[in-house]
Chains A and B, each alone.
Chain A
Amino acid sequence: MPISAPGALWVVPALPLLGFLVNGALALWRPTAKTAVSVVGVGVLVLACAAAVVAVAGFAGLHPAAPLVLRYWEWMPVGDLRIDFALQLDQLSAVMVLVVTGVGALIHVFSVGYMHEDAGYARYFAYLNLFVFFMLVLVLGASFPVMFVGWEGVGLCSYLLIGYWFNEQINADAGKKAFIVNRIGDVGFLIAMFLIFRATGSLDFGPVFARAAAVFTPAGATVTAVTLFLFLGCTGKSAQIPLFTWLPDAMQGPTPVSALIHAATMVTAGVYLVARCNVLFALSPLGSATVAGVGALTALFAATIALKQWDLKRVLAYSTISQLGYMFLGVGTGAYAAGIFHLVTHAFFKALLFLGSGSVIHAMHDAYHLTHAHDDAQDMRNMGGLRRYLPWTATLMWIATLAIAGIPPLSGFFSKDEILGAAFALGTAEPVWLVYWAMGMAAALLTAFYMTRLMLYTFHGPNRTGERERAHLHEAPWVMTGPLVVLGALSLAGGVLNLPELVGGKPWLEHWLEPVTALADRMRPVVELSPVVEWTLVGGAVLVAALGMVGAVRLLRPEALVAARLAPPETGLGRLLWKKWYVDEIYDAVIVRPVQWLTREVLWKTIDVRLVDGLLVNGSATTSRALGWLGSRLQTGQVGFYVALFVVGVLVVVGAALH
């Protein structure tokens, strides 16, 4: 092997870390040096992207069947446990690294325009660089603990960036919510790691997956527990039922953050984890079915909520949850390549949608700022007709909308269709998968509907921003629209990564990922659908997408909308959806309040105040004081008494010695 590019893999995560250190130092001492911050912040990402391309190209040139593991130092040698800080490059992490650095670089460029007026510019880029570093550690880690470092690190950066404008209570609260909800999932991840170590005696990916088939009974209790706990971690990080509630609130952060962390990269970490542990999930049919079932349910559930949200970014947030559900349906079905394919295409079109919405919000915010109005710059009821003022953004967001709705030949169509096709294929043997497939189809219908609704209300119909504000609406600068154009091209053409053989294409991504999933693929039954059935499925999917879009155009009346502050309250089913099925309220009543009651009344007032403070701390003090009082009765102050005691003592000792 020549001093190969893959050998210098550490450069890829090291560059964003360097960017974090420099920008962090600038944030502390020279927060006004915005040019330097831009150069460093964006530069390290572009360089990291280039380094990643070189590394992956070098890796692909080797055609390896096994992952390339690079050990840097011994991290935790404890007894039988030996954990090295090691990075691993294989086909799966290669895909992830390219997505993270590529989409990340585009979003960094966009941020230069979006955040330029912000006082905390350097702090923002420091956090964003740090996030990319941790994300790269997550996808490149060669063992569960190294991955967990990245896993926790991205959670930290997510918290920091959601609460980036921490002066407002609502933003700080949203950050805390994300952190705490994620912590619940992390416990699952940790328990899964303990179980894996107990069973296999290792935490490195290589040995664990190699021994898995030997140490775990297929469909046994241990492996099912491992997969379910791992999946609990995924539900937290990837916002699936029941831990999805933090993601919509996470929209309080700056919009590029929503695009990078809460759409394209971090939230897909759970999908990556399931795909990474494909051997374990293949050994546990129940675990896989749970992943797929929760994914399908989340896809449908979140899509219903997205139907009635007015906040531009909240629609996209629920859309993200829904699309993540698709990815879990894919990896749960065993179609790992399809799940990862959807992850990649989703990163393209959802980042585009979020950045597009950022461009819209940027324009709206500027307009309201210049006229000193206090209306909501993110409420779609305050928008309308924006395509006249933001033609580039409108066009590009339409591309992304068509992609996410699943209109051929855009990227989203291929990836979503493959997932649904895989679920249907399993359904021919076990009917429960048909239910998942049907839920996916229903979610596809809703996806097409709510995305068309978003576009209609935002860009079409009459403008509702206000007379004075209208004059200030403008397209974003090129530094913001440039990344949008690139993402638009990727959303358009992303499908070529994995064209199905049905249309005479080459499933390139599937072939590329084969070394990673080979072990799991052998454990699963292969169901081949006849071309007729496949064409029917494709036709059905396209029909459903078209139905959703046409339905939205026919049913919705953008011209009947009024601005947010004049809008009547929602009623009936619309209110239920607008209130997000009251999930937050239910969690509040069932979990948060009982826990608060328990902590206040039992843990604090009873256990802490009465038991610990009262009985143990003050009780022991009182006891020793009482004993001391008894002892002090001996201290008469009469020297004669002391001497008498002394003599008695001597006599006793002498007497004892004589006997």
Chain B
Amino acid sequence: MLLGPALGVSAALFTLGVFGVLLRRNAIVIFMCVELMLNAVNLTFVALAQQLGVAGQLFVLFVMAVAAAEAAVGLAIILAIFRHRGTVDLQNINLLKG
């Protein structure tokens, strides 16, 4: 019940996150889009857990824990970049250029 709409919402959220990551330049926004994708996946897990058992719900807890840790590390990195270069615009961060 309501599986189809739930998966549809989560797909829409995930696509939103992907496009955000692809198109936005601000590292903070990209970071938020990544969180969006994670939560879209969480929604899928919860929705499918109704049919496939409690393991999906359990997984959501793991994802949330990892996402929290990732948020701490990711924000710290973004802060360090800001201190170092005075901007968080990824357009200007191109040390990997070949």
With A631-B98, A632-B98: A643-B91 Cβ-Cβ less than 8 Å: no
For A632, A635, A639, A647, the residue with the greatest tally of chain B CB atoms inside 10 Å of its CB is A639
C-beta contact mask, B5-39 vs A, less than 8 Å → 1, else 0? 00000000000001001110100000000000000
A401 to B68, CA, bound (A): 111
Question: Which B residues are CB-close (under 8 A) to A631?
Answer: 98
Contacting pair A637 B94 (CB below 8 A): yes
Provide the bound-state CA to CA distance between A78 and B21, in Å. Answer: 68
> In the bound complex, how far is the Cα of B97 from the Cα of A633, in angstroms?
9
- The distance in angstroms between the C-alpha atoms of A566 and B97, with both chains bound, is 85
Residues of A614-659 whose CB lies within 8 A of B: 631-640, 642-644, 647
Residues of A within 8 A of B90 (CB): 638-640
Q: Complex: how many Å from CA A639 to CA B97?
A: 10
B36 → chain A closest CB, angstroms: 14
Chain A residues whose C-beta falls within 8 Å of the C-beta of B22 in the assembled complex = 640, 643-644, 647
Q: Is B61 an interface residue (CB 8 A)?
A: no
Cα(A636)–Cα(B96), bound, Å: 7
- Is B95 interfacial (CB 8 A cutoff)? yes
Residues A636 and B18 in contact, CB atoms below 8 Å apart: no
- CB pair A637–B97 under 8 Å, yes or no, is yes
Within 8 A of A (CB), among B75-98: 90-91, 93-98
In this complex, how many residues of chain A approach chain B with their Cβ under 8 Å: the count is 14
| Contact in complex: A635, B18 (CB < 8 Å) | no
Specify which chain B residues have a CB less than 8 angstroms from the CB of A639 in the assembled complex: 90, 93, 96
B98 / chain A contacts, CB cutoff of 8 Å: 631-637
Query: How many angstroms between the C-alpha atoms of A644 and B19 in the bound complex?
Result: 9
Separation of A500 and B94 alpha carbons in the complex (Å): 104
In the assembled complex, how far is the CB of residue A576 from the closest CB belonging to chain B, in whole angstroms?
76
Tell me, rounded to whole Å, the shortest Cβ–Cβ distance linking A586 to chain B.
64
| Closest B residue to A650 using CB positions | B18
Closest Cβ–Cβ distance, residue B67 to chain A (whole Å): 18
> Which A residues from 437 to 461 make CB contacts under 8 A with B?
none
* CB-nearest residue of chain A to B97: A637
Enumerate chain B residues within 8 angstroms of A638, measured Cβ to Cβ. Answer: 90-91, 94
How far is A121 from B73 in the complex, measured between Cα atoms in Å? 81
Q: Is the CB of A647 within 8 A of B18?
A: yes
Given contacts A635-B98, A640-B23, 6 further A-B contacts (CB under 8 A): A634-B98, A636-B98, A637-B98, A639-B96, A640-B21, A640-B22
Binding site for A on B (CB under 8 A): 18, 21-23, 25, 90-91, 93-98
Subset of 27 A-B contacts with CB under 8 Å = A631-B98, A632-B98, A633-B98, A634-B98, A635-B96, A636-B94, A636-B97, A636-B98, A637-B93, A637-B95, A637-B96, A637-B97, A637-B98, A638-B90, A638-B91, A638-B94, A639-B90, A639-B93, A639-B96, A640-B21, A640-B22, A640-B23, A640-B25, A640-B90, A642-B96, A643-B22, A647-B18
- Top 5 nearest A-B pairs (CB, nearest first) are A635-B98, A637-B97, A637-B94, A632-B98, A637-B96
